[in-house]
Amino acid sequence: MTTSTTEVLAPPTERYTVLGWLRRNLFGSIGDSILTIIAIWLTYAMLKPSLSWGFSVAKWTVIADNLKLFMVGRYPAEELWRVWVVLYLLAAVVGFTWGAWVKGKEKAGYVLLGIPVFLALLPFSPTIRMMILALDLFGFLGIILGRRDNPKFKNWSIISLLLYFPVGILLIGGLTGETGFLPTVKPDLWGGLMLTILLAVIGIIFSFPIGVALALGRQSKLPIISWFSVGVIELVRGVPLITILFMMDLMLPLFLPAEIRVEGVIRAFVAITLFSAAYMAENVRGGLQAIPRGQYEAAHALGLNGFTTMAFIILPQALKAVIPILVSQFIGLLKDTTLVMILSLFDVLGIGKSVLGNPEYVGTAKEVYVFVAALFWVLSYGLSYASQRLETSLGVGER
């Protein structure tokens, strides 16, 4: 590769110098410069006190001492291995799915691998740190397996993902009564981050069929059914989640016959499912409306009846179109589950509140809330970033 130097044009220097970049991007005009200066000042004014508080004032021992509570609440210690199994399974399944669907160049999935790294940075004991980092190992194994060239893997990954949730919930909730291999752990003992995530996951899973049913009901030509669906959807969407939670908490025990006792956590599940179903219905309706008229007509021309048209032609397309929205709905739900704190359930924020009731940790409110906020941020940012990347690389939701 020897070319005569005289013929090579010098690169446009301005583009690559720091000064040039600064001038173009930050100090283009007087107005621009003022904006830049204000922005720098704002950043400084916000960052300085926050950092100095975080590194010198804050007493982070409150987090370190209560970490188990923050993560799993009052879940019995001897059954904790089940939570680990569920987590490892999750890592493996997610890795496998990622490996099967995203071939080659897409690197963004590694953001998800960052979540365990973040968790391992928390003041856990070394063994637990290793166990958390092992999550990434399982993730990698999943990815490597998924990368293998096997056309069936895509279907398998969906099936494993769908099977994962009931299996996981059974593992955590238990199977075999009071004793045995998997003794029941009552939902009231679920807590911390685990409860937060479970509330959101179960909320989404259960609200899916109900939401689809409500969306179809709303589209229905039968007046009573469509009024009913519209009524339920608008009623639930018209009131704050907190009132639905409050109602379920106080009134569900009254609504059910006296023989049936429902645990507080289950009541929250019911409320969250109902809430999520109404929003799900609106999302699915959006998907249904996006289906061109021609699809219905074509189905009719093929001789399909109303039911088969819905089940085989319209719904599959509509549901595909709403998958990206489901991810953001899940993230929204994850954040909304914090409201169960007001029902004195021990989700991650509720645990924070009760830790503050422990005489040893009185006065550490800021530390606790900052920690909870950071936890949520890492989770939902990681999820939304990864899902956006997955969408672009799969072309889901694009036409």
Q: Is residue 283 involved in binding other proteins (CB under 8 A)?
A: no
Q: Is residue 168 involved in binding other proteins (CB under 8 A)?
A: no
Helix (H, G, I), strand (E, B) or coil at 274: helix
Task: Find the DSSP H helices in 122-259.
Answer: 126-147, 153-173, 192-219, 223-238, 241-255
Q: Is residue 255 involved in binding other proteins (CB under 8 A)?
A: yes
Minimum gap (Å) between residue 201 Cβ and other proteins: 11
In our burial notation (b when 16+ CB lie closer than 10 A, e otherwise), range 164-200 reads bbeebeebbebeeeeeeebeebebebbbbbbbbbbbb
Q: How far apart are CA 260 and CA 247, in angstroms?
A: 17
3-state helix, strand, coil split of the chain in percent (to 5) is 80, 0, 20
Binding residue for other proteins, selected from 313, 327, 386, 390, defined by CB under 8 A: 313
Q: Is residue 325 involved in binding other proteins (CB under 8 A)?
A: no
Q: Is residue 246 involved in binding other proteins (CB under 8 A)?
A: yes
CB atoms within 10 A of CB 339: 21
Task: Specify the stretch interacting with other proteins by CB under 8 A; choose among 87-95, 123-131, 138-146, 254-262.
Answer: 254-262
Q: Is residue 261 involved in binding other proteins (CB under 8 A)?
A: yes
Query: 144 vs 360, which CB is nearer to other proteins?
Result: 360
Binding residue for other proteins, selected from 108, 111, 356, 394, defined by CB under 8 A: 356
Which residues 25-64 are close enough to bind other proteins by CB under 8 A? 25-26, 28, 32, 35-36, 39-40, 42-43
In the structure encoding, which two tokens stand for residue 270, read together?
């019911």
Query: 70 vs 98, which CB is nearer to other proteins?
Result: 70
Query: 137 vs 252, which CB is nearer to other proteins?
Result: 252
* 8 A C-beta contact, residue 199 and residue 269: yes
Q: Is residue 343 involved in binding other proteins (CB under 8 A)?
A: yes
Task: Specify the stretch interacting with other proteins by CB under 8 A; choose among 7-15, 85-93, 131-139, 205-213.
Answer: 205-213
Minimum gap (Å) between residue 130 Cβ and other proteins: 22
Query: 46 vs 133, which CB is nearer to other proteins?
Result: 46
Binding residue for other proteins, selected from 270, 288, 327, 386, defined by CB under 8 A: 270
Minimum gap (Å) between residue 141 Cβ and other proteins: 24
Q: Is residue 190 involved in binding other proteins (CB under 8 A)?
A: no
Query: 103 vs 227, which CB is nearer to other proteins?
Result: 227
Instruction: Name the residue with tokens 């939670």.
Output: 245
CA-closest candidate to residue 365, choices 58, 106, 158: 58
In the structure encoding, which two tokens stand for residue 285, read together?
């309706």
Pattern 358-377, other proteins, x by CB under 8 A: xxx-xx-xx--xx-xx--xx
Sign of CA dihedral 19, 22, 27, 33: negative
Binding residue for other proteins, selected from 142, 249, 283, 288, defined by CB under 8 A: 249
Minimum gap (Å) between residue 10 Cβ and other proteins: 25
Binding residue for other proteins, selected from 60, 84, 110, 165, defined by CB under 8 A: 165
Task: Specify the stretch interacting with other proteins by CB under 8 A; choose among 7-15, 90-98, 144-152, 246-254.
Answer: 246-254
CB atoms within 10 A of CB 247: 15
Query: 10 vs 260, which CB is nearer to other proteins?
Result: 260
Query: 133 vs 209, which CB is nearer to other proteins?
Result: 209
Q: For helices 241-255 and 264-289, what crossing angle results, to 10°?
A: 120
Minimum gap (Å) between residue 9 Cβ and other proteins: 27
Task: Specify the stretch interacting with other proteins by CB under 8 A; choose among 1-9, 97-105, 129-137, 209-217.
Answer: 209-217
Q: How far apart are CA 289 and CA 247, in angstroms?
A: 33
* 8 A C-beta contact, residue 70 and residue 349: no
Give the total of residues touching other proteins (CB under 8 A): 130
Backbone angles phi, psi at 135, to 5 degrees: -55, -45
Which residues 100-159 are close enough to bind other proteins by CB under 8 A? 155, 158-159
* 8 A C-beta contact, residue 73 and residue 264: no
CB atoms within 10 A of CB 381: 14
Residues 6+ apart with CB under 8 A from 313: 295, 296, 298, 299, 304
* 8 A C-beta contact, residue 199 and residue 187: no
